[in-house]
Chains A and B, each alone.
Chain A
Amino acid sequence: AQTVTQSQPEMSVQEAETVTLSCTYDTSENNYYLFWYKQPPSRQMILVIRQEAYKQQNATENRFSVNFQKAAKSFSLKISDSQLGDTAMYFCAFMIATSYDKVIFGPGTSLSVIP
Chain B
Amino acid sequence: DAGVTQSPTHLIKTRGQHVTLRCSPISGHKSVSWYQQVLGQGPQFIFQYYEKEERGRGNFPDRFSARQFPNYSSELNVNALLLGDSALYLCASSLEGLAGPYFGPGTRLLVL
Contacts and interface: CB of A to CB of B under 8 A. Distances in A.
Interface of A: 4, 33, 35, 37, 42-47, 50, 52, 91, 93, 95, 97, 99-108
Given A100-B31, A101-B56, A43 B45 contact: no
Given A97-B99, A101-B31, A43 B88 contact: yes
Interface in B5-47: 31, 33, 35, 41-45
Contact of A107 (B42, B45, B56, B88): B42
Given A43-B88, A45-B90, A104 B103 contact: no
Contacts of A103: 33, 35, 43, 45, 101
Contacts of B55: 100
Given A44-B106, A47-B100, A103-B35, 12 more contacts: A44-B105, A45-B90, A45-B103, A52-B99, A95-B99, A95-B100, A100-B48, A100-B55, A101-B56, A101-B101, A105-B44, A106-B42
A101 B42 contact: no
A102 B56 contact: yes
Nearest to B46: A102
A91 B31 CA distance: 22
Nearest to A91: B42
Interface of B: 31, 33, 35, 41-45, 48, 50, 55-56, 58, 88, 90, 92, 94, 99-106
A43 B91 CA distance: 13
A50 B100 contact: yes
Contacts of B35: 103
Given A43-B106, A45-B90, A100-B55, A105 B42 contact: yes
Contacts of B48: 100-102
Nearest to A9: B40
A37 to B, nearest CB: 8
